[in-house]
Structure 1
Amino acid sequence: MTYVVTENCIRCKYMDCVEVCPVDCFYVGENMLVIHPDECIDCGVCEPECPAEAIAPDSDDRAAAWAETNRTYSALWPNITRKGEPPADADEWKTKEDKAKLFSPEPGVP
């Protein structure tokens, strides 16, 4: 089992999860993070740290749609090991639904 970043992260990208990850398995895109499934050790410490509730175990139904996105983009985006500044409007986006259409495939800056 692994953890998956879901669409709730899009446009929020708080990065609190990055600070607690013991194996640095987060990768950064322009407007969201993903977890590399082969690097995640399933410790679960990231899940409660996410203010947007964007992280779920891959056994969770809401994670299924995002598992392949995490796998694909964790191979393309740069690794992030330290928390950065979230977008200025992150709190405004935290509770919005249907953010999948806003997903950007562009890499972010670690």
Structure 2
Amino acid sequence: MFEPGHLHIAQPALQPDDIGYDIHIRYETAQTDAGAGMHFTLEGEINGKPVNEVFDLPKDKAYNFASEASHIAEKYGLPKDVDLHDMHGDYDAMFEDIRDKLDMKSGDAVKPEHLE
């Protein structure tokens, strides 16, 4: 479920071997080491294990929030084959909200060191 500044992703474990998760991604504009950007908080639980991590992304990398969130979720036990990106409508709305908050336009420059 998406609302500006917050995305909630949940999947209950329906079978004993399933991995359940209940994750909140909150975000706001912030000054990062590289200038304007976004500050993200990822909290909730993955398979009963609490998650509480923060990360910052500069403006030209803020579009990559889903990849960063997925890497963090994997650290807490979410298997790589579970696709948090599968909520395309909500991710699209979050992406557009981030673009709006950071006044990002198609064709904005990306720093070469951020392409790695």
Instruction: Determine if the TM-score, normalized by the shorter chain, exceeds 0.5.
Output: no
**How does the TM-score come out when normalised to structure 1?**
0.28
Which structure would you say has the larger RCO, counting Cα contacts within 8 Å and 6 or more residues apart? 1
Q: Kindly name which structure, 1 or 2, has the bigger radius of gyration based on alpha carbons.
A: 2
**How does the TM-score come out when normalised to structure 2?**
0.27
Higher-strand-fraction structure: 2
